[in-house]
Amino acid sequence: MILSESRSKRLLSEYQVGIPAGATAASEAEAIERARDLGCSRFVVKAQISAGGRGLAGGVSFSDSPEAAGKAAAQILGRRLVTEQTGPAGEVVRRVYVEEAVNIRDSLYLGIVIDQQTALPTLLGSAEGGVAFEQEAAVRPEILDRLALAPDCAYDDDAITGFLERIGLDGEPLSNARQLVIGCIQAFRKNDISLLEVNPLAVTDAGQTLAVDAKIVLDGNALFRHPEFEALSDDLWVDTAERTARDNEINLVRLKGNIGVITNGAGLGLATNDMIFDAGGLPANFMDIRTTATSFGIARGVDLLLAESDITVLLLNVHGGGMTVCDTVVEGLAFAYSRSKRRLPIVARLAGQNAPWARTILKDRRLPHEHFDTMSAAVSRAVSIASGRYR
């Protein structure tokens, strides 16, 4: 679960991480009021969405008066912001963050990630933070410094100091930054964070260090330990269809195409979409029916596809295993069709556990389907239907 900038910063500030003064607003009037409360002379208004890449997509603007900040907020509120990380649907901006614009002397980057190679929480740092940092680090990895922590995030004081020296800090900014880094490490551990980024970590003219922007990804698997985050999930979930699917034990990602895809398992879902692309078609979604999904949950997932007017055919590719058997999926499909007016053609390929029984269900419920024995044959049929070559 991704926390918005304002929530990420509020969480970090509980661990003595310095942040610029700021508050969220949902309207122009609110934005003006928040800006007046800040009592400073220069403001920054930032769209609050869960995805990154805002700066480059016009989601951040500076203004010199509370009224101008209000205008900036009015311009962006309600707008759909598409960044390189949101997916094509983008995200509607429902709140902005109005913040004091600080005088930044140096922009650094600080991250804490879980390094899969070492299985250790690892500090990442760079003297070259800022909006273009990710692109820059991809081509010049040498600008990134690393420091591995212990599995429980324990750290060595001298090692932290050395790490901060390596990313160009000394004197008072260094000791301020050390407090900031230690606060971030504690927040990372205590809140089951899987990714924490402060970019930029700003050094101000006065030598202060501030988290000017922050991004936190919480480990969704650890939410049972953090009931305090449950309430947040409502307004942070990116896409309502994807959220509904998740609530029904289905991983759904919406894509641009017109072939609705129903598969069990992440690997099979990825492989099916690969085959659709290779055959010249475009999947409308990625779907992974989790092993914990029931027929009713699967029906909700199919409902979501039937509600998409772009979709012209459903490709059902299920390999029944020890946990998800074919008939569970087909029962869900039949249930969704029974309560929908749409009779989208179904191209089915059922294999593995209970496949014959599932095919009987498809026939008995008179679902408009064709069955193929191989994935390739089913995919190629679905692609030809989707491209208008149907009958």
Partner 1 sequence: MGILVDGTTRVIVQGMTGRSGTFYTDLAMRYGSEYVGGVRPGKGGTRHMGLPVFDTVGEAVAETGATASLILVPAHNAAAAMLEAINAEIGVAVCVTERVPVHDMLQVHAALHESKTVLIGPNSQGILTPAGCKIGVMSTADARPGCIGIASRSASLTSEIVASTSAAGLGQSTTVGVGGDPIHGLGFRRCLEMFRDDDRTRGVILIGEIGGIEEEEAADYLTSIEYGKPVVALVAGRHSPSERRMGHAGTLSMFGSRTAGEKAARLERAGVKIADDADKVTPAMVDALA
Q: Which residues contribute to the site for partner 1 (CB under 8 A)?
A: 84-85, 87, 111, 113-114, 116-117, 119-121, 124, 151-152, 189, 192, 194-195, 219-222, 224-225, 251, 253, 255, 263-271, 273-275, 277-278, 286, 288, 290-292, 319-323, 351-353, 374-376
- The token pair that represents 301 in the structure block: 């997932």
Q: Closer to partner 1 by CB, 40 or 153: give it.
A: 153
Q: Is the CB of 55 or the CB of 352 nearer to partner 1?
A: 352
Q: What is the token pair recorded at 100?
A: 């004091």
Q: Minimum CB separation from partner 1 for residue 107, in Å?
A: 19
Q: How far is the CB of 170 from partner 1 (least distance, A)?
A: 27
> Which residue, among 360, 292, 287, 372, has the nearest Cα to 327 in the 3D structure?
360
Of residues 102 and 124, the one with the C-beta less far from partner 1: 124
Residue 359: CB minimum distance to partner 1, A: 16
Return the number of the residue (70 or 121) whose C-beta is nearest partner 1: 121
Local structure of residue 142 (DSSP, 8 states):
G
Secondary structure (DSSP) of 16-84 = T-----EEEESSHHHHHHHHHHHT-S-EEEEE--SSS-TGGGT-EEEESSHHHHHHHHHHHTTPEE--T
**CA geometry: angle 168, 204, 101, nearest 5 deg:** 135
Helix (H) or strand (E) segment spanning residue 260: strand 259-263
Shortest Å, Cβ 5 to partner 1? 18
- Closer to partner 1 by Cβ: residue 74 or 255: 255
CB of 373 to partner 1, least distance (A): 11
Minimum distance between the CB of residue 157 and partner 1, rounded to whole angstroms?
21
Q: Which residue matches tokens 């998409």?
A: 308
What is the Cα–Cα distance from 183 to 53, expressed in whole angstroms?
25
| Nearer to partner 1 among residue 107 and residue 353 (C-beta) | 353
